Amino acid sequence: MTIRYPNGKKYVAVQKSSLPKKIDLSFSNRGKSLEDELNDTNEFYLSRGIAVIHKKPVPVQIVNVKYPARSAAVITEAYFRTPSTTDFNGVWQGKYIDFEAKETKSVTSFPLQNIHEHQVEHMKSVSEQAGIVFFIIKFTTLDRYFIISYDSFENYWERMKTGGRKSMTLAEFEEVAVEISPGFNPRLDYLQAMSSIIVSD
């Protein structure tokens, strides 16, 4: 199936990363993508009345459908109706939450090219409206997770736009972000990590 952006550019799906091969007491999470881990965490938050946060649906316009059998339909071409903004949003303690989740296989840095200009513009707008906006970045090879506020991220984004480094180093994440320690239930307690950022701000 071919899916295209509103401007007609072909969409290329990103392969889901798997966790490194090592002993892990939490076998149920082995091989899960960051998105899956966050969906599990959000279900935990919802079931405990902690927060209501969901993965945003992506609006798609179906263009072409084939019917290889009477009871089966295969979508062969589709377009994203609008550019995507961020991955997740919802409400927590009366506050609007909006964040993007990304993975990288690099062990030294996170490429900023993985973030799109329109996503940053969206996050800036939400931040200006006093929403809580952040990124969750997973270094898959290292099995390390970081949460970084939009305000902190913006400095590195502007650095890139003015001709500087096109990535954030692991050391920079260790300096300005909060590391999330994976657990059993919830898998990634990112709201607890976010609380420490809000307090420090």
Domains annotated for the chain, with CATH where assigned, are 31-57+84-200 (3.40.1350.10)
SS3 of the chain: helix, strand, coil, percent, to 5: 30, 30, 35
**Digit-coded pLDDT (tens) for 30-47:** 557 999 999 999 999 999
Residue 125 has pLDDT above 90, yes or no: yes
Distance (Å, whole) CA 16 – CA 92 = 28
The pLDDT value recorded for residue 197 is: 76
User: Is it the case that residue 49 has pLDDT exceeding 90?
Assistant: yes
pLDDT: which is higher, 11 or 175: 175
Q: What is the pLDDT of residue 23?
A: 36
Beta strand pairing call for 60-69 and 72-80: antiparallel
- Residue 82: is its pLDDT beyond 90? no
What is the model's pLDDT at position 174?
A: 97
Q: Report the pLDDT averaged over residues 77-105.
A: 84
| Torsions phi, psi for 118 (to 5 deg) | -70, -25
pLDDT for 189 beyond 60: yes
Write down the pLDDT at residue 34: 95
Distance CA 30, CA 21 (A): 9
User: Could you tell me the pLDDT band of residue 12, with boundaries at 50, 70 and 90?
Assistant: low
Close Cβ partners of 173 (under 8 Å, ≥ 6 residues apart): 110, 137, 146, 148, 179
High-pLDDT (> 70) share of the chain, %: 75
What mean pLDDT value characterizes the chain?
Answer: 83
